[in-house]
Every structure is written in structure tokens, then in C-alpha cells.
Amino acid sequence: MTTLKRSLIALSVVAAVAVSGCSNMTTAQQRELSGGAIGAAAGAGITALAGGDAIWGAVGGAAVGALGGFLYNKHEQNNSN
């Protein structure tokens, strides 16, 4: 099995487990988790297609995605006041 396939399978499993645990989370926590999961999947996919190590792409993508979710939440909080 190729690295890309293994990475995508692993990310799919992690995303499914993460989403199933969102029922008791606040909206802010859900946004940050969703951003991290989407970022991890995108980072792994792009890095694997570019010929790099998909794991490091997933780590970087997750960090950027979680930060994006956090910043979006702060933006929404400022607009609701």
C-alpha cells in the first residue's frame, strides 16, 4: 500500500473518531477541531502529491487549520457583540 493511501486511511479514521466526540463540545471547540481535521487532511494530501512526507504535511496542516478555526471563532465573537 502506498504512503498516500495509508495516510488517507489513517486520517479518515482519526477524523471519524474526532467527529463522533463532538456532541458535548462548544461551538468554538468544534470549529477548532474541524479546522484541524480539515487542515490535516489537506496538508497530508498536498504533501503526498508533491512527493514529501505526508505525516509532516498533516501536522502542519492541522496546526494551520486549528489556528484558522480559532481565529474564525474570535472573529465571530467580535461580530456578535
Task: Tell me the three cell numbers of residue 4.
Answer: 498516500
Cβ partners under 8 Å of residue 3, min gap 6: 48, 53, 54
Q: Where are the alpha helices (DSSP H) in the chain?
A: 3-20, 27-49, 54-80
pTM beyond 0.75, yes or no: no
- pLDDT tens by residue, 37-51: 899 989 988 998 898
Q: Yes or no: say if 40 and 77 are a contact pair by the CB < 8 Å rule.
A: no
- pLDDT tens by residue, 31-80: 888 899 899 989 988 998 898 888 899 999 999 999 999 999 999 888 87
